[in-house]
Amino acid sequence: MSEALQAPGVALRSDALIALRRVALTAEAAPVLAALPGGFATRRKGHGLEVADMREYVAGDDIRHLDRGTTARTGRLHVRQFQEERDRVSLLVADFRPAMFWGMRRAFRSVAVAEALTLIGWNVVESGGRVGVLALTAGEPVIVPPRGRTRGMLDVIGGMVQAHEAGLAAMVAGQGEDPALDQALSRADRLVPSGAELIIGSGFDAPGAGLADRLDALARRRLPRLVLVTDAQIARMPQGRYPIRLADGRRVRLTLGGGAAAAEDPVRQIAGRAALVLDAGETVEQMARRIVAAFPAERAA
């Protein structure tokens, strides 16, 4: 590829995504942005294996949960309360279809999608969850099964970098048509178990006629959450097919314009569902503050 396609904001680099761990863990929620509907309960009181609390016995408590040690020490009956352990599994869906390789300020929308999902992914693994990736391109997707800890997140970053390189190469080769998003998501439910969340980062170009139905089907056993990545400058342009000339002289056409700026409309409806709007021209620190507010790591059940 030409030198221009290796520039920051155009190419996706693993070291830059790894460095976002610090940004993700130190970000403070933007006070003006309410969280999106929903949440992910990582623990709740129940009949699990880990003790959550100890309290005095009251009529109706299960005597099998009596704590002998505390009862002996205090002379009063005490019972254990247990917490149900849940494994948080998150599938990051990164849209690297051709229309995402465009940006007028800091970065391509494709790069901003990878940054946003990486910020979310670091928070997931640091809170004890597992994370995987489904990276969509003009060709075959790149899939990394969910894994936990830093090793799992590094695998996700490697998968996104690989898919981004393939998507950028396809765009340069003139593959400017986006496969329909609803069809690209057809295998997402088979990659994670019931109860998992799917965080879809996209510009939602070429959604396909069945996107709403696809999201509804996913929502029956999983939690789809949407992140719309746009560019405030592009959003102000009239929607249309724009000819773009690359540094090597080749020409491609991209569908651009007609969107809403993130600063003006921080939450939008996509296929009947709320989507957090992020601006690719924002700094990663600004994106991190929006993400922390919209995607809290834990929510009490």
**Backbone Cα Rg of the chain:** 22
CA atoms of 172 and 223, how far apart (whole Å): 35
Residue 261 has what pLDDT?
A: 45
Residue 286 has what pLDDT?
A: 93
Does residue 61 carry a pLDDT above 50?
yes
> Bridge partners of 241?
255
Lowest mean pLDDT: which of 26-30, 40-44, 46-50, 274-278?
A: 40-44
Residue 290 half-sphere exposure toward CB, CA atoms < 13 A? 23
Containing 252, the helix (H) or strand (E) segment is strand 251-256
Lowest mean pLDDT: which of 15-29, 97-111, 121-135, 286-300?
A: 286-300
Residues in the chain: 301
Residue 262 has what pLDDT?
A: 43
Closest CA to 228 of 108, 95, 129, 133: 95
pTM score, two decimals? 0.75
Lowest mean pLDDT: which of 146-150, 265-269, 293-297?
A: 293-297
Residue 260 has what pLDDT?
A: 47
Q: Are strands 223-230 and 273-279 parallel, antiparallel or unpaired?
A: parallel
Q: What confidence tier does 1 reach under pLDDT thresholds 50, 70, 90?
A: low
Residue 53 has what pLDDT?
A: 72
The contacts of residue 13 (CB under 8 Å, 6+ apart) are 161
Q: What confidence tier does 65 reach under pLDDT thresholds 50, 70, 90?
A: confident
Stretch 54-76: mean pLDDT: 85
Give the percent of the chain with pLDDT over 70: 76
Strands laid side by side in the 43-46 sheet: 43-46, 78-85, 50-56
Q: What confidence tier does 29 reach under pLDDT thresholds 50, 70, 90?
A: low
Closest CA to 188 of 230, 145, 155, 150: 145
Does residue 163 carry a pLDDT above 80?
yes
CA atoms of 29 and 8, how far apart (whole Å): 26
pLDDT of 107-162, one tens digit each?
999 999 999 999 999 999 998 899 999 999 988 999 999 999 999 999 999 999 99
Stretch 67-92: mean pLDDT: 81
Residue 80 has what pLDDT?
A: 81
CA atoms of 138 and 176, how far apart (whole Å): 8
Residue 292 has what pLDDT?
A: 87
Does residue 258 carry a pLDDT above 60?
no
Higher pLDDT, 84 or 129: 129
The contacts of residue 11 (CB under 8 Å, 6+ apart) are 5, 111, 164, 165, 168
3-state secondary structure 43-73: EEEECCCEEEEEEECCCCCCHHHECHHHHHH
Higher pLDDT, 85 or 154: 154
Task: Return the structure tokens found at 38.
Answer: 């929903």
